[in-house]
Structure 1
Amino acid sequence: MDGSSGCGTPIASRRAMASSRRGSLSRCSGGSWATLMACLTLAVVHFVATTLHLIPPPDPLPDPNAIHVFVTTDEKDLRPLVVLLNSTFVNSKNADKLAFHIFMPEDREASTREQLRFVLPNVRFDVNRFDVDIENIKRHIAVRNTSVERDERCFRKELRSPYNFVPFYLPQVVKGIKRMIYLDLDIVVQGDVTELADLDMQGYPAAVVEDCMQTMANYFDFKQLRHIQSSYKGNGDNGENEGENETGGVRLERPSWLPPEVIDSKTCVSNRGVLMVDVDQWIGQNITAAIEWWIAQFNVSAADRPLYRCGMSQPPFLLSLYKNYKKLDLKWNVRGLGRVEFAEGERDYYQEQGYLRPDKRPFISPFSEKAKALHFNGPLKPWKQNRTFEGPGLERNGTEPWPLEPQWDPSISIEEQRALKLPSLCGQRLILCSAIWWRYLSPEADNLFNPKKKSARKVTKVVTDGQETARTLFNQVQTQRLRRRTRLRAL
């Protein structure tokens, strides 16, 4: 399906048509006879089109009592979306309060909606309910797409997607919502996400997990950053030399989002994989504008010394919310589970905290056993690996036990690990972290939605054909009703 009606009119266009017609009808009063007749004709057309579902009814305001969870993706494989929704839903004590809002390309909107209803009938969700200008986002990141090919580890293709930046624009379009929770697609939720709904934000625009295993120095070229700060009054020198920048030029007025103090390279970073947003504070503090501003600074930075060392949407997020966020418990974003090795700085951090210095490979997450959200950021996504299975005590269909969880063999050499790209390990038993991800996707669902299997294409066709048949039958019934009413009026 392409998100269009039986007549081939795109949903977005039909909404615009509906809005235009409603506005025209409101201007009909007090006009001439010709104007009234034109308005009457327009009213009849609008009534018939709405009755036949050619024009969708205006969306009601979001449920003010719901807990609103947002997901953005252009991933064609629906399995990570199913796992994210399923894990969040089944681990929430008040799951009936959850309302999921999914943003994705319009050409997959209708088919995704029907397929999710097929496998998650009890989950409340909508697709592309709010209007986000994807083309505008693309314009902001267009330069980046041609200038970041130098390091595929830091600038992977999926990180350059405009849907990776959509979360920064959501607070501007979510009418009627005061609090929003955003979750990255590569997350498994093991805690009760409804706990975040009552969080005291203390005036901050966002709440995220702070990660001191990495610092700002991991992401930025600080020579470039110092140059940017020194170009504005009250920046880069703690208030000294207000009139001139470091090259002797006149300083510009400082934007409100640019910190007046020197940005410290040793400051801990945060990760936006689990993001709680106070919508009013986000808008009031111009966070979206700040992110766009930092993206522009990256775009004009020298090609041989770009502002960002690594990352795509993460760096402007870090700069825009520098020391301006509420800290969530570490359990809400146990990250790095899509990686094969530790960075040297991470190994140093564990040693400084009193742990044994870990080997470079494999990546081991000591905090995963108590995690409320497991984050598979990195290139090794669970759905791109072979299926792994659950541990003892969990049963399939109430009778057949699942196979034991695969565990890591310590005898595997570093060279073999590198050749195998051994994924991350979790907990004291060192099980594959991906095994936890697979707990929320049955083999049957995996077979249905795996794009590499014919059954995935088959279920898509069945759902799509069923939707088309239902729409055709509905339109036929409505047409018959209109004809019957016309005959009765004639009699």
Structure 2
Amino acid sequence: MDLRWFRLAWHRLSSSIGLRWSRLAWHRLWKPLLISALVLVVLTCGLLGLSGGSSSAGVRLRVKVSNGSSDEIHVCLCSDDTDLRPAAVAIKSAHMNAANPERLFFHFITTPELAPVFQELFAVYLVGISVEVHADAELQGKITSFISFRESSRARLILASPFNFAPFYLHEYLAIRKSSGQEVKVPDRLIYLDTDTLIMGDLAELQEIDLEGHPCGAVKYCLQTMDNYIDFHVVEELGYTNYDPKACIANRGLLVIDVQRWIALDLTGKIEMWLGHYRDSKADLWLGGMSQPPWLLAMNGKFLELSDEWNCNSLGRDSMSPEEAQSLRQSGFDHAALRNIGAKFGEYGGVTPYVVSCSATGKMLHFNGAVKPWAVAKIPLEQKLPACALPENMPPTKFEWEANVRVFCRPMKFVNCAELWAAYISEDVACALRDFDQEWGEDLDLLQRNLDAKRTKKAMDEAAKQEVEKREMEDRKQRESTERPLDAKRTKKAMDDAAKQEVEKREMEDRKQRESIDRPDLAEGQLSEMEPSSDRPPVITP
């Protein structure tokens, strides 16, 4: 168990009993006694986390143990995030909006290291709510072995967490063996929720729904199709042709699972098969996401379609695509409505920020996207947050921002989506469940990634520059090698001409020399004709 675990436990457990450490607290007289008590609690929790023996036994901690009653509604969440705020809000909102909250039994799946800490936090901050914490190092390792992340994909690295794939192994996590060796009976039906959700409806509706022989139920989403996620050219190259690339997707943010049918159809095995194809394929088998594409391929549309109310999504997205914006216009939003909300059209028809109208009647609000409501402090002040229609069953709440608009002449109130989420957690509880180390750690990681990217770009630019210089040098050598024979030819011709002229000059001189030797009288005669001799009198012609 590393130092980070102790730091997290120290911070969280001190918060749970109302003692927020400060610099002044270190000077209190009772510091030694308090430190000793906290160390004892932390060590006890640590031993609980390690007491499972072998990794196959795992960790099973409980606030309240399920009695296996058919009246119970078993709800599962999975996360290794040390920030417990999103999970707490998902659980609390589901409990508050249930007609019979005593029927709800929550299963939280996480790492063996975090399980003891989360156990204590759930006990303190979710009083009266049945929560059971599950962890299994061996199963976690098995899941991790199937995951591969490609830098060429559009997926975020955080999605490569094994707990993003844990929903496909719920029946295995819940079947962790007790110390007696007896296997725990897994409920026949499980409801899975992403932690970034807000439950506004009664989950009992999903418990009672007839799945009609399907292994699971999910909400269809037709603003995106299968080929938005998956490269079907690669799928066909692998020999699979029974897919419709234009089929609507289903978001797995909420699943209603028939455990026996899921096992009988070996859906977990099929998902593992597609993960293997993704790992071994030379080209990217899917284009975005990590766990969504293999689930879509394994299901291939064979799920019961749930009501749209059970997955009102995109509350965490910062903009709408042109197709989504068109749907918004068709639903009755005019220029005045969008202007009152503060939304703007982009150059290609998109809308910023994301405008969510389904939240008015939605039974599950899904904050999928990068704008998480518990992290809005990191969003630039000038950036407009996603806007949500006020839910009809929202308890009385004071909002920092509101906008009243008319959609098809019907009045609607919009608020920041993040404020809907914040209404289900108090400031004190949010402070206690927040991981302060993680916040700055993420920032430092981002800075380091930016620095690494800058260094990488500089190295790539330098390499590109050297490559250009290398090519220029090669081109210059090539030109020189091409021009050299021509220059040599020209030089040889000039030398030959010069030699020829020299030969001709010499020949002329030799000829003159010979002529002067062979005819000396010619030279004298020429001289007498040209110049009269001084010893001879001039000849006078009569």
Higher fraction of helix: 2
Specify every segment of 5 or more residues in structure 1 that has no aligned partner in the other structure, as ranges.
20-54, 231-235, 237-261, 411-426, 455-491
Please report how far the alpha carbon of residue 133 of structure 1 lies from its aligned counterpart in structure 2 after TM superposition. Answer: 0.3
Task: Classify 1:352/1:212 alpha carbon distance in 2 versus 1 (closer, same or farther; 3 Å).
Answer: farther
Query: Partner of 2:157 in structure 1?
Result: 157
In structure 2, relative to structure 1, the CA distance for the partners of 1:393 and 1:380 (3 Å cut) is closer
AA aligned opposite 1:169: Y
Matching residue's letter, 1:161: S
Deviations 1:292-343 (A, max 9, x none): 01111111222xx311011100000111111200011001011111111112
Distance (Å, rounded) in 1 between the aligned partners of 2:302 and 2:393: 43
Counterpart of 2:239, as a letter, is Q
Name the CA shift for 1:370/1:156 in 2 (closer, same or farther; >3 Å). same
Structure 2 gap segments, 5+ residues each: 10-41, 175-184, 335-344, 379-384, 406-410, 439-542
Among 102, 109, 131, which residue is 2:108 paired with? Answer: 102
Task: Please tell me whether residue 221 in structure 1 is matched to residue 231 in structure 2.
Answer: yes
Which secondary structure does the structure 2 equivalent of 1:214 belong to?
strand
Query: Within 2, Cα distance between the matches of 1:386 and 1:402?
Result: 20
Deviation at 1:351, TM superposition (A): 6.2
Match of 2:250 among 267, 270, 291: 270
Aligned-partner residue type, residue 379 of structure 1: A
Q: Is residue 2:321 matched to residue 1:343? A: yes
Deviation at 1:451, TM superposition (A): 2.5
Query: Contact 2:76/2:108 (CA < 8 Å) preserved in 1?
Result: yes
1:347: Cα distance to partner?
Answer: 3.5
Letter paired with 1:407: E
Q: Deviations over 1:224-246 (max 9, x none)?
A: 1111235xxxxx3xxxxxxxxxx
| SS of residue paired to 1:275 | strand
Compute the displacement of 1:171 (Å): 2.4
Q: What pairs with 1:233-382 in structure 2 (closer than 5 Å)?
A: 236=241, 262-302=242-282, 305-348=283-326, 359-382=350-373
Q: Distance in 1 between matches of 2:167 and 2:392?
A: 38
Distance in 1 between residues matched to 2:219 and 2:312, nearest whole Å: 9
| Higher RCO (C-alpha under 8 Å, 6+ residues apart) | 1
Corresponding residue of 2:88: 82
What TM-score does the superposition give when structure 2 sets the normalisation length?
Answer: 0.60
Aligned AA (1:77)? D
SS of the aligned residue for 1:106 comes to coil
Q: Give the match for residue 72 of structure 1.
A: 78
Q: Which residue of 2 aligns with 1:42?
A: none
Seen in structure 2, the aligned counterparts of structure 1 residues 210 and 82 have a Cα distance that, compared at 3 Å, is: same
- Provide the C-alpha distance between the structure 2 equivalents of 1:276 and 1:179, rounded to a whole number of angstroms: 7
Task: Tell me which amino acid in the other structure corresponds to 1:100.
Answer: F
The alpha-carbon distance between structure 1 residues 337 and 132, as it changes in their structure 2 partners (threshold 3 A), is farther
What is the rounded CA distance, in whole Å, between the counterparts of 1:336 and 1:347 in structure 2? 13
Alignment match, 1:434? 418
Q: CA deviation digits over 1:253-275, x for unaligned, max 9? A: xxxxxxxxx31111000001011
Find the aligned partners of 2:46 and 2:428 in 1 and give their Cα distance: 33
Which amino acid is the alignment partner of residue 418 of structure 2? Answer: S
Relative to structure 1, the CA distance from residue 354 to residue 403 in structure 2 (aligned partners, 3 Å threshold; closer, same or farther) is: closer
Runs of 4+ in structure 1 displaced over 6 angstroms? 1-5, 129-132, 351-358, 390-396
Q: For each residue in 1:425-450, what CA deviation from the matched residue of structure 2 results, as whole angstroms up to 9, or x when unmatched? A: xx943311111001101122122223
Map Cα deviations across residues 152-176 of structure 1 (whole Å, 9 max, x no partner): xx41132111000001011244333
Cα gap change, 1:392 to 1:113, in 2 (>3 Å): same
SS in 2 for 1:213: strand
Once residues 437 and 299 of structure 2 are traced to their aligned partners in structure 1, the CA distance between those partners, rounded to angstroms, is 43
Match of 1:166 in 2: 166
Q: Are the equivalent residues in 2 in contact too, given 1:211–1:271 (CA < 8 A)?
A: yes
Counterpart of 1:488?
none
Classify 1:360/1:308 alpha carbon distance in 2 versus 1 (closer, same or farther; 3 Å): same
For 1:15 and 1:99, locate their aligned partners in 2 and report how far apart those are by CA, in whole Å: 26
Give the Cα–Cα distance (whole angstroms) in 2 for the partners of residues 17 and 453 of structure 1: 28
Q: Which secondary structure does the structure 2 equivalent of 1:386 belong to?
A: helix
Distance in 2 between residues matched to 1:394 and 1:370, nearest whole Å = 8
Match of 1:200 in 2: 210
> Do structure 1's residue 190 and structure 2's residue 174 form an aligned pair?
no
1:407, distance to aligned residue in structure 2 (A): 3.3
Structure-1 separation of matches of 2:92 and 2:253: 17
Distance 1:393 1:221, change over 3 A: closer
CA distance in 2, matches of 1:192, 1:91: 6
Aligned residues: CA RMSD: 3.6
Q: TM-score scaled by structure 1? A: 0.66
Offset at residue 80 of structure 1 (A): 0.7
Q: Do the aligned residues in 1 keep the contact of 2:191 with 2:256 (CA within 8 Å)?
A: yes
* Alignment partners' CA distance in 1, 2:274 and 2:171: 18
Check 1:121–1:301 CA distance in 2 against 1; reply closer, same or farther (3 A cut). Answer: same
Decide whether the 8 Å contact of 2:321 with 2:350 is kept in 1: no
Q: Which has the higher mean CA deviation after the structures are superposed, 345-354 or 433-442?
A: 345-354
- Is 1:128–2:134 an aligned residue pair? yes
